[in-house]
Amino acid sequence: MVVMPDADLDAAADALVSAAYGAAGQRCMAVTVAVAVGAAGEVLVAKTAERANTFTVGPGAAPGTDMGPLISEVALDRVRGALELSVAQGGRLIVDGRERPAPGAGYFIGPSLVDHVSVESDLYREEVFGPVLSVLRARDLEHALQIVNDNPYGNGAAIFTSSGAAARRFTRGVRAGSVGVNIPIPVPISWFGFGGWGDSRFGDDGLNYDAYRFYTRSKVITQRWTEPTPGLAPHFVAAAGQ
């Protein structure tokens, strides 16, 4: 998930903790990596850490629980080992889930946040499948796109921004099967069969085209997005027929 400096960073942080730590990170579309662009980095990390530290960890059926346990002891050991290695490989552990007291018997660990993760690190290259969010830093949108597209997997990708031009550049340039703008997990609803790109792809065509064509009335939309000029009031043009 790419987060631009012009994004609503409170909304982005809310989305990140939900998408990264929901189901304890044990779902295929969990957001495991945030790419913070430019000035967004420090603020985004601080806001995400604040929210992660308030997560209530406990049995999934207990009232007030935000995050339940991992599925097995093997999974718990994998997450612990990944956190330990992330620091050895240069990551900065902002929130350490290992420090969270276990709420009882079970494979519990708190949400973790690792900043300044490198694309060469094991934490980035290997899926932890647990409540660990890695933060990478990018200079600008083009650098962020390069980071995303260089990854061999392409199940889904998202961008948080208030710029239509940035959203267009991202949605057209990213190599992923499901793409979201200001939506952290852009999974289609059930009858839109989906598959990713690259090593995330499965099935014969990746997308169940016949399914969504059946439920769709097609529309052609022509768009032109430009960056707003500072100090210039926006102009609103009524659609034809209104």
**DSSP states of 25-58 as a string?**
G-STT---EEEEETTHHHHHHHHHHHHHHTPPBS
* Token couple for 40: 């967004």
Q: How far apart are CA 138 and CA 5, in angstroms?
A: 11
* Token couple for 75: 């999974």
Report the catalytic residues.
28
Q: Do 97 and 83 meet the contact criterion of CB atoms below 8 Å apart?
A: yes
The terminus-to-terminus CA distance of the chain in angstroms comes to 37
